[in-house]
Amino acid sequence: MVARCQHRLLPDVLRPAAARGRGAAAGIPRVLQVARVPPCAGGHAVILASASARGARALLAGLAVALTVLAAPAVSADAAPPLLHPVFDDHAVLQRDRPLRVYGQASAGETVRVEFAGKRARARAGDDGRWEAELPALSAGGPHALVVSAGDRTQRVSDLLVGDVWLCSGQSNMELQVWRALDARAEIAGAGNDRIRMFTVPQVSDVVPKVAFSEAVEWQPVNPETVREFSASCYFFARELQKQVDVPMGLIDASWGGSRIQAWTSGEALRTLGDYDAELDVLGRYADDAVVAVGDWGTLWQDWWAAREGIDADDRPWATGDVAGPWRDAPEQLGAWERWGVPELADFNGMVWYRTTVELDAAQAAQGATLVLGPADEIDMTWVNGRGVGSTYGAGAGREYALPAGLLQAGENTIVVNVLDTYRDGGLAGPATAHALRLADGSQVPLDGGWRYRVVPPELGTPPRAPWQSAAGLSTLYNGMIAPIGRYGLRGALWYQGESNTFEHDRYADLLRALRSDWRSRFGDDLPLLVVQLANYGAAPTAPVESDWAGLRESQRAVAAEDRNTGLAVTIDIGDRYDIHPTNKQELGRRLARVARHVVYGESLPPSGPVPASTSRNGDAVMVRFGDVGDGLVAYGADGPIGFELCGADAGSCRYAQAELSGDRVILRAPGAGDATRVRYCWADSPVCTLFDGAGLPAGPFERPVTP
């Protein structure tokens, strides 16, 4: 029997954000599995399509699914699955110049034979049926066919090339498609390169590592039809790199808008940091019993609240009965709090508590029930009668939380929702009549008794996010999107992420190191990591300021500087003050390719613009010496560069400094310069930076101590 066509894995149904659209919910419905049917027998299949943010794949928002049955002969329930892992498909690119790992699934104990480009290998499937074979290294070339056989089964995939394979990952700026990039129409029309192949990982989160994809996957050569929906940053990088490195390029895009770095890192790696053990323990319980785990998470959330400075011991907004705090009546229509006409909420990003009660009789309280809430923008933590019942990330999806038996009571029941908003509109969608308790007998009890609200002072900070929350969780995207790739051979990885972690920039360096080590343990100890430093975004400064964005850029710079297989692409000059998604991904691709040529391919060229090599006191001035300078330092638009600050040890002590160029040095002067202990450059969300080198590359933002 020849299994010629690719195995299509059906997505899990009704998982917490398992197959998501933008703003998908991550509530607590029970995880359900569906049958997996290969579309090989008769050439047809039953296909379950799930919501996704990938262009035409987006069928419904949130967790909605649609079932399409193609008129076809019936598929045998015992049809054997393909032998190869789905990443080994027609048109794939395999990594050159290193042993080739090929893997898949067979019957337990079965001998598997592999043949590729005249090379052969054997492997024996383990007790779980998984097998992995290793072929000798090959130089760039192709096309070749990969043939795998076991028993009386044979699978053949064709048109495979050998070249360099890159994993492109991160959040929305990596996800941003070619059709959204600068000059998109011309770029799409002119795209045509059979030697660049693209593979998009389905956007799936999971609470445990997966071994295969839960949606159909395929490799696609670049042409106007295929490139449109692919990552612009990833594609333009490969197109530019191939001008200098003339080999086939394989691109694997695993990205998710709004994601945090913790979601892309395995649970094992996060545990090495020592900060996430309790949350990871809850995540483990969530896989077995979501309702119990959510209650445990509610307790951890409450502990966080109680530890905030200024919170009294009796300040427990989730509790039943009378509670402390300045509670006020919310408008009946609810909706975005910015439109309530309340001055303090007119432009408010932060937390607001909501609270209401509902009366039940004894028969109603004795039934099982689900709390039905409208969408919340953007993260909620919800309690019923003082017990945590659910937490969801995503503005577009309604919340439905199954309530544990015995939680409801005859008489008054208290529902409390904490809503955190980090961007633009925030709040619990209305009207109030849209919220209800749905009882087991099918009846609904509306929550129409009126809501009260309480604004949380911003200085209390940002609460922890439930560890199962898709893009904001712990290990969820590693489990659903990185682990399913297996140990596929890579030349390197591109990482464009950080916007969602700026509020914890002081932890980001350790998190980035953990991710780097984690991915190297999977893909190879020497895996190069090319990091995109955050671009400029937001208001331009008129005085020295503290900046979370600048702090995160410094973490990125420091981690890149400490490791010879890590590079940094500086983008501080190609962002957009008014759009967090700058469209000039072509220049980003050029800069990433330049970094790769230095870090990965060993070219002796400055990789990413001038970098600070030393900062020292020089009389009444401070001198900064730069390395990696191509064709000398230059200042754009003035005699000297702007954006330098001299700072003392205390907060608020930074002052702008006058800067003068002197060869590969910048000399800084300002009142009190002799007391300066730190130098900052381009330290703001969206700074004005004018120091470049003669090759046109910008000096990136930094903060360094002044040495005597």
Whole-angstrom Cα distance, residue 473 to residue 475? 6
Residue from 397, 446, 703 nearest 558 by CA: 703
Q: What is the DSSP string of 447-484?
A: --S--EEEEPPGGG------TT-GGGSSSHHIIIIIGG
Three-state DSSP state, 262? helix
Name the band, by pLDDT with cuts 50, 70 and 90, for residue 508.
very high
Q: Which residues contact 132 (CB under 8 A, 6 or more apart)?
A: 101, 102, 103, 123, 487
Q: Identify the pLDDT of residue 688.
A: 96
- pLDDT tens per residue across span 563-603: 999 999 999 999 999 999 999 999 999 999 999 999 999 99
Q: Are 557 and 533 in contact (CB under 8 A)?
A: yes
Percent of the chain past pLDDT 70, that is, above it, reads 89
The secondary structure element, H or E, covering residue 523 is helix 505-523
Mean pLDDT lowest among 177-181, 230-234, 324-328, 341-345: 324-328
Which residues share a beta bridge with 661?
A: 666
- pLDDT tens per residue across span 246-290: 999 999 999 999 999 999 999 999 999 999 999 999 999 999 999
Residue from 614, 600, 523 nearest 569 by CA: 600
The answer, yes or no, to whether residue 707 has pLDDT greater than 70, is: yes
The answer, yes or no, to whether residue 36 has pLDDT greater than 70, is: no
- pLDDT tens per residue across span 8-22: 222 222 233 333 333
Three-state DSSP state, 672? coil
Domain ranges of the chain: 277-460, 611-705
Instruction: Tell me the whole-structure pTM to 2 decimals.
Output: 0.87
What's the CA angle centered on 608, arms 525 and 582, to 5 degrees?
Answer: 100
Residue type present at position 436? A
Q: What is the mean pLDDT of residues 32-61?
A: 33
Q: Are 609 and 570 in contact (CB under 8 A)?
A: yes
Q: What is the mean pLDDT of residues 399-420?
A: 97
Q: What's the topology of domain 277-460?
A: Jelly Rolls (2.60.120)
Q: Which residues contact 574 (CB under 8 A, 6 or more apart)?
A: 535, 582, 584, 587, 588
Q: Identify the pLDDT of residue 29.
A: 33
